[in-house]
Chains A and B, each alone.
Chain A
Amino acid sequence: MHQLYTAVFEPGFFSSEPVRVALGVGAMVAIVSALVGVFTVIRGQSFGGHALTDVATAGGSGALLVGMSPLSGFVLGGVLGAGAMEMIGVRRARGRDLATGIVLGAATGVAALFLYLDTTSGATTGATQQILFGSIFVIDGSTVHYVEGFGSLALVLLGFIYRPLLLSSINTDIARARGISVRLVGTLYMLVLALSVGLSSLAIGTILSTALLIGPAAAALRLTKRMGWTLAVAASIGVGATWIGVLLAYDSYYWGSSGNGWPVSFFIVGLVFLAYLASGLPVVRAVTGRRMPSDLNVPVVER
């Protein structure tokens, strides 16, 4: 028994301060991403979420350049990007895609420049690694407070707009007829999305943060038929994948003889992907009581 225990938890796992921080920050990030992600999927805004990660890349690398913390750059970049999309933006789904594409293109260009400048300047040579693939094991105390602050803000905002957001995600005309300002609710939601992307960029990097946003939500949507359960299952998958990912990354230092571990982001994203695959298995669906995949013959729905 003890042998099995030490095989799963390599020595020092629970006493390691970076691991404790990683588990705490990881949980917050995973919960925010998963809950926001459910709405992102329902609203068909995965592309928008992805574009924000590119804006976050520009923000984070720019922040490093001027000596600020990457997290502030991620969040600031995300919020400005979301604002830009809303401003270019647009009532129809096509226009929204267009606005997203334009912002994405511009942001990627700026990010390329900033990352180049970061890597060529002496103090920030590790920037590319840190921005693109995250830094969950090297988060300092003050950053933890920012994670808690931004995370709580995102959750409170999401809880505040929950019902009008749900109604306007189902049908904008019905929502407008009820007196809901679909535009205002949509803008607040983009702000929440920007916060969420900023947090996940810090934890697992800008490139991989889309996976944490979309993966758990997509899996949960296949398994549940009511919103409360969808949110709970998505959050559980996100937190589960993040915690197991942190554990595996820690353990991986002991696997080879080289003494180099594998990147934690790889494990988290891999586990999220496995969870999504598993959610399609008939066995899993039978247990959760959802009928056969609605995704096999999805009718085209006008958004």
Chain B
Amino acid sequence: MTAERPAPPEQSVVLALEAVDVWLSGRRILDSVSFELGTGEFVGLIGSNGAGKTTLLRVILGLQRPTSGRVLLGDEARSRGNRSIGYVPQKALLDPDVPLRARDLVGLGIDGDRFGMPRRSAKRAGAIEEMLHAVGAQHYADARVGELSGGEQQRVLIAHALISRPRLLLLDEPLANLDIRSGQEIIELLERIAKEQAVTVLLSAHEINPLLPVMNRIVYLAAGRVASGTTDEVVRPEVLSKLYGHHVDVLRVHGRILVVSGPGSGDEETLSASPALVVG
């Protein structure tokens, strides 16, 4: 079985969803979603295209109002827009024509929501520099953000999201446009940050495998329903078959997990692994 990382000690609840339903254009996108996340956990939000990952993250951020159910941050009900949540959206391509250096964008993470002109200070510049180092972006700190590569922009956006010291960091498919190595680097970076800064990381992806070594918890999303727990608790044929509403097999090969639609469901698609791996 897969090696599981022990859950961090002294857990307190950072985020709790209670029976969240979301209906959009007469369709049920999220179906009675409930789970809790603790301090410093590294959580994978796994689901295939259209499963509802982005919608779920938007609900947590307060950008999408749930049709029913509650979202609790710490002990408080979530208010719209919140400095205690950092967010890196899916496909956040930055315009190359915007005259902002990487360090300027990180600076906007400190006070971009305030009115009035920015005030420079040595303390502010120091905090920005430190954050740029923490994500390994110091080499292109003075380049225009829009001219950086996708992976470089990703790091700058992570720094932007983290500099206000949120308790929860949401990333929507941060690995989507990265090659395997850059993806690995981002995962290691996030794992280190989750530990050092006691930030809970919730990261969406359609591929489980790159996250297996770092995940404390998985939130598995299929057809708007969620199963949450450790990988071993969730990624099992019984649990996933119930989630998908038809039979699903879970294959473990060379330390990798393949989730495959079983016979009788009509299509033999893989649900969370690249098809080539199954055929080959």
Chain A interface (Cβ < 8 Å from any Cβ of B): 38, 41-42, 159-164, 166-167, 169-171, 173-180, 221, 224-227, 229-230, 291, 294-295, 298-299, 301-303
Contact = CB atoms under 8 A, between A and B. Distances in A.
Size category, B interface: 35 or more
A299 B89 CA distance: 19
B91 A180 contact: no
Centre residue among A178, A229, A301, A302 by max chain B CB count within 10 A: A178
Contacts of B147: 291, 294
B180 interface: no
Nearest to B114: A163
Given A173-B89, A226-B100, A167 B144 contact: no
Contacts of B117: 159, 162-163
A179 B96 contact: no
A160 B93 contact: no
Contacts of A175: 112-113
Interface stretch (B35-43, B76-84, B200-208, B251-259): B76-84
B174 to A, nearest CB: 14
10 contacts: A41-B97, A42-B99, A159-B117, A162-B117, A163-B112, A170-B94, A170-B95, A171-B92, A175-B113, A226-B99
B46 interface: no
A291 B140 CA distance: 14
Q: Majority SS of interface residues in chain B?
A: loop
A294 B146 contact: yes
B144 A298 contact: no
B99 A163 contact: no
Nearest to B63: A176
A177 B85 contact: yes
A256 B167 CA distance: 73
Contacts of B7: none
A162 B118 contact: yes
Contacts of B94: 170-171, 301
Contact of A302 (B93, B98, B108, B116): B93
A163 B97 contact: no
Given A163-B115, A178-B113, A226-B104, A170 B85 contact: no
